[in-house]
Chain A
């Protein structure tokens, strides 16, 4: 078996609140393969978004070990974490507008995303690939929610990352738009990029090549 992209061992994440420390994730251990779609599934509050933030080097875990491509990222400083995010990780947030820069056009969003990873520009065919050809000069607001979310994945692809982390990517879309997004996700995985998605959308869980089921912050089960 190829080396996993992520290795999580005994990971704990606690949140400090005014009423005390609240454990969000407890003793979680699993691997994320370097290809395919890994789905973190579970009901609200199960810790899947928290884990996704830990994988995206957004939040720090309280205990345990997280390895990215064999490197322990727990002890990395701010600068090294930024560098890692810039070079290897792409994040797609839940709300489509949160993934795009509103005052830029569609093409400019793709270029901005590519530039953020040190690339000059995005692949010119990417809009065709996303199924929104001819929209390069459009303002983001002119796109529908589904189109915006597909563009968000396009932006992620333009960064040529090792992994795309998507938090509930279909939760704010209607069924038709969600289906198009899932199609993009599938093709993204087919292109060799690892995809990790947190979701309780059965359709998304269904296309997952590996599903990690979470409940109350603990791994309930894994399926490949």
Chain B
């Protein structure tokens, strides 16, 4: 290799600005490419984590349940499960057997109960008295009802003695019990004898010994395979499901051969969530891909601009080499050799930044194996692409500059393509596809619509269209600007001349700037809208932060212990036809219910007029209920005095809200709920402390399947991240555009000031030039982003039938921040431009 090429890497240090810009361009390119890969995979992991979090941890691995089996069969099933589990990577088995629920004899009393054994059960019970390991453990409710004491022996004294009384297992059950909840927590609403609290045997052997003959073929068995760590990535989850499938196939196959499989349910409940998680990951990837590609193209265009700048700086050397016989390809290679190192270091830094910043821009830090390598490969690919761009741009410039001197016909041809029309048509098609997507039903209920990559691309295509239209108008405007005479306002005339003279840079900065502000605004807008929609829908669905069913006697009495009353309110629910009617306590409702963005004072004012009058019950009517006084079963005559569009629990459905003080017979209420503004754990703890039985506890954060919302949110969070990257590119391009013209500006400015141009006018001209550029970008981008977010938020709502439909959030703070940041960048760049003029030494500049 000849010396000029061999010395090229060292030559790079002679142009630190080019090196720095090449480094930054490669960093951003590599970051965008790698981050897209990492983010999409991270979305899959987050989806796995979210769904595992919604399931009982013991049902994430495969489960085996058997009903109406003999105790001997239950033992056989457990033995098979243990063997097959060990063979397939499930070393821990938590097996349980249950006798049928009967009125088992306990020395006279015959309480409804069931005998049971579960591996490790006694380590997960709260002992109230006794605690010996060699006898039966009886729940307090049965011990109290049947008068069972420590040392008593059941079944005519044939059973081991009672050695402990334990606290009944209550909702919400701890993780250890979650898969057994239906067996160990009696359901008071079920028919008598259908459920009962269990009496625990000390060992499976003793259970078998005593219960085998008594259970007939009515025993139940459950096998769980808890894992030390729940899967965090789609790959781990898929591996778990695959191992589970092999394990279940082994157990079921053997049982089938033994004709014992009829009453066994072997299930892999996590298989579907894994599919959903993969789909979420694919959707996020497909949705962010177009903008990622656009960002990469913008970045590569930036690398091309760096190369052009490099070519200008090295023009004399390149002409010399060409005159000595070097061809365009060799000169392109020369550029590659000089810029490869900063590009490589930049690509490496971008990859590292993408990996290190993962917690800030991605929904999960857990990645599947190989994703890091894939991200590295993408960063490597981006680096190679950048090298190709450098080589190609330098070779093409050399060919044009030295070999042919041909005009850039291709650039003119590209300008003639109506890009904005193409993207507008694509945006329309994406919108039409989203609008025409039919709602899927399951058991007659609408399913949340899974985010569709094409639909998700709609807002981005709109922003891109607006950016391209802005660029087209700017190009026309700059062409026409040559005829404008504004010398009465010298600052404006100078600014216009500078803009028109650098039309290429101006158009590039406008495109990237508008795209950046637009994607940033639409990203934040749509992501926030979906978050708020999930929040609001969950809140309306549950009614409060947490809620639970409580006994009617508590609801009717209205008396709660102070600790509970401090954060809770009682709500009676009556369903009459299509109406959901609520009986509330106006004094505590506003404080405890979930009101979302409703003004508590307004709500309180509406509830305060619901007091009893002796006549028709004053009611707050919700939704499309009649305005006139109407008669409702069990409530009597209700007279609407206020009207609202939606209400907690009723949502945007229809019904009435009345005060408990106005209802004559509170016992007519169907069910009573307690609503709390505290997390579920606090509510349950206080209910337990007050001795109030509770059921069907629900918390707002787990009320709805939020994954479809989260998929949209994750997608637009990444869009926001890309918007930030593009904004950095736009700001850097603005700095670079001024920097490459520094000498020319300094000379022109210095001469103009010596000819009488006032410093104030000089500053104003730079502010007008740069401010106009940034202002148009911010105005067009923000307008596109705000309108697009407003249109897209309801369009992308995965559950539009669950009101309220997602709406655009208030984006004024974001737009204000964007404008402020743009103003600061403009001020700084303006300062550097003016400073280069004021510190210029004209003599040196002219001498050249």
Q: State the A residues within 8 Å of B (CB).
A: 56, 58, 78-79, 82-83, 85-87, 90-91, 93, 95, 97-104, 108, 111-113, 115-117, 159
Known: A97-B316, A103-B11, A104-B3. A58 touches B402 (CB 8 A): yes
Asked if A104 and B4 sit within 8 Å, CB to CB, the answer is yes
Taking each of B325, B326, B327, which has the highest tally of chain A beta carbons within 10 Å of its own beta carbon?
B325
The answer to whether A86 and B324 have CB atoms under 8 Å apart is yes
Assembled-state Cα–Cα distance A108/B10 (Å)? 14
Asked if B320 is at the interface (CB within 8 A of a chain A CB), the reply is: yes
A-contact 0/1 string along B315-327, CB 8 Å cutoff = 0110111011111
* 8 Å CB interface, B770-828 against A: none
Beta-carbon contact of B327 and A116 below 8 Å = no
A79 touches B324 (CB 8 A): no
> Which of B3, B7, B11, B316 has a CB less than 8 Å from the CB of A98?
B316
B3 near A108 (CB under 8 angstroms)?
A: yes
In the assembled complex, the Cα of A108 lies from the Cα of B317 at a distance in Å of 14
Chain A: CB-nearest residue to B10: A103
- B4 proximity list for chain A (CB < 8 A): 101, 104, 112
Residue from the list B317, B325, B327, B402 in contact with A101, Cβ < 8 A: B317
> What residues of A have a CB within 8 angstroms of the CB of B316 in the complex?
95, 97-98
For the complex, give the distance between the alpha carbons of A112 and B14 in Å.
18
Beyond A58-B402, A102-B317, A108-B7, whether A116 also contacts B14 by CB under 8 A is no
Interface string of B286-326 (1 = CB under 8 A from A): 00000000000000000000000000000011011101111
B7, B323, B403: most-surrounded residue (chain A CB, <10 A): B323
B317 in contact with A85 (CB, 8 Å): no
B326, A82: Cβ atoms closer than 8 Å: yes
Say how far B235's CB is from chain A's closest CB, in angstroms: 50
- Nearest CB on A from B234, distance (A): 51
Residues of the B chain whose Cβ atoms lie less than 8 Å from the Cβ of A87 = 325
Contact of A115 with B3 in the complex, beta carbons under 8 Å = yes
Contacts A78-B403, A115-B2 given; does A103 touch B324 at CB 8 Å: no
Flag B395-423 by CB within 8 Å of A: 1 or 0 each. 00000001100000000000000000000
CA distance A218 to B319 in the complex (A): 28
Tell me the nearest residue of chain A to B4, going by C-beta.
Answer: A112
Instruction: Please measure, in the bound complex, the distance between the C-alpha atom of A91 and the C-alpha atom of B316, giving whole angstroms.
Output: 13
Q: Which of the residues B2, B10, B317, B403 comes within 8 Å of A116, measured between beta carbons?
A: B2
Bound Cα distance A148, B676 (Å): 88
Let me know if B7 and A117 touch, CB within 8 A: no
Give the residues in chain A near B325, CB-CB below 8 Å.
82-83, 85-87, 116-117
A111 to B7, CA, bound (A): 12
A103 with B14, Cβ < 8 A, contacts A82-B325, A83-B325, A111-B3 known: yes
Tell me the complex Cα distance, A87–B325, Å: 8
How far in angstroms is the closest Cβ of chain A from B321? 7
Contacts of B10 in A (CB 8 A): 103
Looking at B2, B4, B14, B319, which has the most chain A CB atoms within 10 Å of its CB? Answer: B4
B317 contacts across to A, CB distance below 8 A: 101-102
What residues of chain B lie closer than 8 Å to A85, measured between beta carbons? 323-325
Interface pairs (16), CB distance under 8 Å: A56-B323, A78-B403, A83-B325, A85-B323, A85-B324, A85-B325, A87-B325, A93-B323, A97-B316, A99-B320, A100-B320, A103-B7, A112-B2, A115-B2, A116-B2, A117-B325
Count CB-based A-B contacts (< 8 Å).
58
Closest 9 CB pairs of A and B: A86-B325, A116-B324, A112-B3, A115-B2, A91-B323, A98-B316, A103-B11, A85-B325, A82-B325
- Inside 8 A of A90's CB, which chain B residues have their CB? 324
Give the residues in chain B near A100, CB-CB below 8 Å. 320
Q: How many residues of B contact A (CB 8 A)?
A: 19
Residue of B nearest to A83 (CB): B325
Task: Verify A78–B324 contact, CB threshold 8 A.
Answer: no
> Known contacts A58-B323, A58-B402, A116-B321; can you find 14 more A-B pairs with CB under 8 A?
A83-B325, A85-B324, A86-B325, A87-B325, A90-B324, A97-B316, A98-B319, A100-B320, A101-B320, A103-B14, A108-B3, A113-B324, A115-B3, A159-B324
- Asked whether A79 lies within 8 Å of B3 as measured between CB atoms, the reply is no
**Nearest CB in chain B to that of A104: its residue:** B7
Which B residues lie within 8 Å of A115 (CB)?
A: 2-3
A8–B559 Cα gap in the complex (Å)? 116
Q: Which residues of A have CB within 8 Å of B326?
A: 82, 116
In the complex, what distance in Å separates the CA atom of A79 from the CA atom of B330?
12
Q: Of all chain B residues, which has the CB nearest A85?
A: B325
| Docked-complex contact B2 and A78, CB < 8 angstroms | no
Residues on B with C-beta less than 8 A from A116 are 2, 321, 324-326
CA distance A169 to B14 in the complex (A): 27
Question: Among A82, A83, A97, A103, which residue has the most Cβ atoms of chain B within 10 A?
Answer: A103
Instruction: Give CA–CA (A74, B325) in the complex, Å.
Output: 17
For chain B, residues 1 to 25, give those with C-beta under 8 angstroms from any C-beta of chain A: 2-4, 7, 10-11, 14
Closest residue to A88 on the B side, CB-wise?
Answer: B325
Interface centre among A93, A101, A108, A159 (most CB of B within 10 A): A101
State the Cβ distance, B138 to closest chain A Cβ, in Å.
Answer: 91
| Nearest CB on B from A145, distance (A) | 13
Residues of A within 8 A of B323 (CB): 56, 58, 85, 91, 93
Complex CA distance for A200 and B317, rounded to whole angstroms: 26
Q: Kindly identify, within residues 327 to 369 of chain B, every residue whose CB is under 8 Å from any CB belonging to chain A.
A: 327
- Chain B residue with the shortest CB-CB distance to A53: B323
The digit string for B640-667, where 1 denotes a CB below 8 A from any CB of A, is 0000000000000000000000000000
Inter-chain CA distance A137–B275, complex, in Å, is 68
CA distance A23 to B92 in the complex (A): 93
Q: In the complex, which of the residues B3, B7, B11, B326 has the most CB atoms of chain A within 10 Å of its own CB atom?
A: B3
A99 to B2 CA separation, bound complex (whole angstroms)? 17
CB-CB < 8 A to A78: which residues of B?
Answer: 327, 403
Q: Which residues of A contact B3 (CB under 8 A)?
A: 104, 108, 111-112, 115
Complex Cα distance, B3 from A87, in Å, reads: 18
Nearest B-chain residue to A78, judged by Cβ: B403
Q: Please, how many angstroms separate the alpha-carbon atoms of A113 and B10 in the complex? A: 18
A79 with B327: CB separation less than 8 A: yes
Measured in the bound complex, the distance between the Cα atoms of B323 and A100 in whole Å is: 12
| Cα distance A98–B317 in the bound complex, in angstroms | 7
- Per a CB cutoff under 8 Å, which of A95, A108, A117 touches B324? A117
Residue of A nearest to B407 (CB): A16
Contact A98 B403 (CB under 8 A): no
**A29 CB → nearest B CB, Å:** 25
- Which residues does chain B contribute within 8 Å of A104, judged by CB atoms? 3-4, 7
Complex CA–CA separation, A80 to B719 (angstroms):
52
CB distance from A44 to the nearest CB of B (A): 19
Residue of B nearest to A92 (CB): B323
Tell me, in angstroms, the Cα distance from A102 to B320 when the chains sit together.
12
Contacts of A86 in B (CB 8 A): 324-325
* Nearest residue, chain B, Cβ from A56: B323
Distance in angstroms between the alpha carbons of A203 and B321 in the assembled complex: 30
Quote the shortest CB–CB distance from B462 to chain A (angstroms).
39
Q: Which residues of A contact B14 (CB under 8 A)?
A: 102-103
Chain B residues with Cβ below 8 Å from A95 are: 316
**B315 vs chain A, min Cβ distance (A):** 9
CA gap between A104 and B10 in the complex, in Å = 10
Q: How far is the CB of B310 from chain A (nearest CB, A)?
A: 13
Q: Give the residues in chain B near A98, CB-CB below 8 Å.
A: 316, 319-320
Nearest B residue (CB) for A79 = B327
Measured in the bound complex, the distance between the Cα atoms of B64 and A15 in whole Å is 88
CA–CA, A112 and B320, complex, Å: 11
Minimum distance in angstroms from A12 CB to a CB of chain B: 17
CA distance A157 to B3 in the complex (A): 17
A52 CB, nearest partner CB in chain B, Å: 11
* Chain A residue nearest in CB terms to B325: A86
CA distance A83 to B14 in the complex (A): 30
Q: Kindly list chain B residues whose C-beta atoms are within 8 Å of the C-beta of A99.
A: 320
Q: How far is the CA of A127 from the CA of B229 in the complex (A)?
A: 76
Kindly list chain B residues whose C-beta atoms are within 8 Å of the C-beta of A58.
323, 402
How far in angstroms is the closest Cβ of chain B from A144?
A: 16
For A108, list chain B residues within 8 Å (CB): 3, 7
- Bound form: Cα–Cα A86–B316 in Å: 17
